[in-house]
Amino acid sequence: MAVDTANGALRNPFELPDSDGYEWVKGNLHSHTTNSDGRVDPQTRVDGYVGAGYDYLCLSDHRKITRVDTVEAPDGFVLVQGVELHPDNPFGGQRHHFVCLGMEEDMDADVMPPQLVIDRVRSQGGQVWLAHPHWSSVNIARDTMPLDGFSGIEVFNTVCRCMGRGESSVHWDDWMEQEQKLYPMLCNDDLHGDPENPKKGRYDWYQGWTMARVKERTSEAVLEALSSGATYGSTGPTIEHISLSKSGDEVEATVKCSEAQRIFAVSDKTGAEYQEKGEIFTEATFPVRPGAQWVRFEVVGPNGAKAWSNPFDLTEL
């Protein structure tokens, strides 16, 4: 029986071929401008990501949508309309941080219960992503499991790393294990700063991105790739290919990537590590933990930068 998933069946992006018109696009779904607490105006923010070689961006200002028709971007650069909403947290933790994508209508989320916010976002065709749970001191069982309708989780956040809590992979695994439900990830900057005028000690730009496998350079195609897991996240390494094969109860994974010092296969039954005797490698085949229902992969580059795959449902192999 298939493991439950947040948004319907997950797709393996590495099996969506170039010959069908698919390409990788690089993007960031979480950034702020002078419309909230960011240090540059919306157009400067867009220009920054265009200049840094990105293909798509969301200006996810706090509480109020920054409309994509108020900025300009070159042909082929995709603007995803969104907002970061902060409903109250009635379960005891801190106020929520939800990155909401594909948004049309503003709402006064601060005075709304979190489930109502999720429902209203979804009713307008939007997606709700749990932002930086490590930084927010989110307790998955207390703050998140009472809620239903998330698209997934932000596994890495650059500005939160500046404050020592950038990675939320433990929350991700905890959530998937407790619910036995697979959530895809985002890897984001949450950029507030000004790359042209750095604030001392805070370098929060262009260090965490989500690669999406799309056929068309449209907001709809990017959103569909995000929710169906046709993505991977990175702070450096490239994942070229992941394939899985099963014989009996044994599952074997083959990962091809840019230079790596190690690869982790993280599953609901602990995990497995692959290393090449202390040497750098770019391809590895190794067994996944027996009896696991799902597995996700982390590639660690020579300098410690990482890439995260989405989870794979092993029960469907």
Q: Which is nearer to Zn ion, 131 or 299 (CB)?
A: 131
Q: Is residue 306 a contact point for Zn ion (CB under 5 A)?
A: no
The residue type of 293 is Q
Q: CB of residue 199 vs Zn ion: minimum separation in angstroms?
A: 16
189 binding Zn ion? (CB under 5 A): no
Three-state DSSP class for residue 269: coil
Q: With contact defined as beta carbons under 8 Å apart, do 276 and 259 qualify?
A: no
**Total residue length of the chain:** 317
CB-side neighbour CA atoms (13 Å) of 287:
9
| Percent of the chain as helix, strand, coil, to the nearest 5 | 20, 35, 45
Token pair listed for 110: 């601060």
Between residue 197 and residue 216, which ones bind Zn ion under the rule CB under 5 A? none
Site for Zn ion in 273-302 (CB under 5 A): none
Please count the other Cβ atoms lying within 10 Å of the Cβ belonging to residue 265: 26
Which lies closer to Zn ion via its Cβ, residue 131 or residue 225?
131
d(CA 65, CA 67): 6
Question: Of the ranges 79-87, 112-120, 250-258, 299-307, which one interacts with Zn ion (CB under 5 A)?
Answer: 79-87
CA distances 33 to 39, 48, 75, Å, are 6, 12, 22
- Choice from 61, 189, 190, 298 touching Zn ion (CB under 5 A): 190
CB atoms near residue 15 (< 10 Å): 12
Tell me, what DSSP letter sits at residue 26?
E
Q: How far is the CB of 190 from Zn ion (least distance, A)?
A: 4
What is the Cα–Cα distance from 158 to 166, expressed in whole angstroms? Answer: 6
Q: Is 161 in the site for Zn ion (CB under 5 A)?
A: no
Among residues 96, 97, 171, 306, the one that binds Zn ion under rule CB under 5 A: 97
**Smallest separation, CB 143 to Zn ion (Å):** 14
Interface stretch with Zn ion, choices 108-116, 124-132, 145-153, 289-297 (CB under 5 A)? 124-132
**Least distance from C-beta 82 to Zn ion, angstroms?**
11
How far is the CA of 104 from the CAs of 65, 68, 77, 125, 246, in angstroms? 8, 10, 20, 9, 44
Return the number of the residue (190 or 204) whose C-beta is nearest Zn ion. Answer: 190
* Shortest distance in whole angstroms from residue 173 CB to Zn ion: 21
The residue among 83 and 272 lying less far from Zn ion, judged by its C-beta, is: 83
Amino acid at 20: D
For strand 181-182 and strand 4-5, is the pairing parallel, antiparallel, or unpaired? parallel
To Zn ion, the closest distance from the beta carbon of 146 in angstroms equals: 20
Judged by CB under 5 A, the number of residues near Zn ion is: 4
For residue 306, give both structure tokens.
């990482």
96 is a contact residue toward Zn ion (CB under 5 A): no
Chain position whose Cβ is nearest to Zn ion: 97
| Beta carbon of residue 108, minimum distance to Zn ion (angstroms, whole number) | 17
Which residues bind to Zn ion, rule: CB under 5 A?
Answer: 84, 97, 131, 190
